[in-house]
Amino acid sequence: MNDRFRVCFVCTGNICRSPMAESVFRAHVAEAGLDGLVEVDSAGTGGWHEGDGADPRTVSVLRAHGYESDHAARQFRADWFARLDLVIALDEGHQRELRRLAPTPADAAKVRLLRSYDPAAVDLDVPDPYYGGTDGFDECLELVEAASPGLLSAVRDALTERGAA
């Protein structure tokens, strides 16, 4: 089907949080049998790491929990909004920046915080683990995993509205 539901996760450099969220959510989508209907992607608000793989600590934590990680960093572009259904920001700074980039109010409305899909979340930011130790990457994974079922439910609802699922 060409009319896939497209989700893009966005953090700062696209080497820690967003590739982790991409890998985890892709696994949830596949487990739900929706991989033919949902396309999962990630990018960064900045282009400092374009072409680089994910941070080795991200890869290590993902592999330790059974997730795949095949990634090349890239920078989010405003013209991507036209083909995306949801743009998932990993913290409020990313959300503000993405909404500023959005060409239209409808595009700005596509930008959501990942943790807004976790009913237990109090703070909606996923902290940047880059400058800390491995424990920050473990925490990042926990936060991403906690929000993924709620996001999957929202995507499933959107697919049902389209008549695709």
Known catalytic residues are: 11, 17, 128
Closest CA to 22 of 162, 140, 103: 140
DSSP state of 134: H
The token duo for 21 is 């969220």
Q: Can you tell me which residue has the tokens 């595009």?
A: 107
Closest CA to 67 of 140, 119, 133: 140
Helices (H), 65-133: 92-101, 105-108
**Helix, strand, coil in percent for the chain, rounding step 5:** 45, 15, 40
Q: Which residues of 32-69 are buried (b: 16+ CB within 10 A; e: fewer)?
A: bebeebbbbbbbbbeeebeeeebbebbbebbeeeebeb
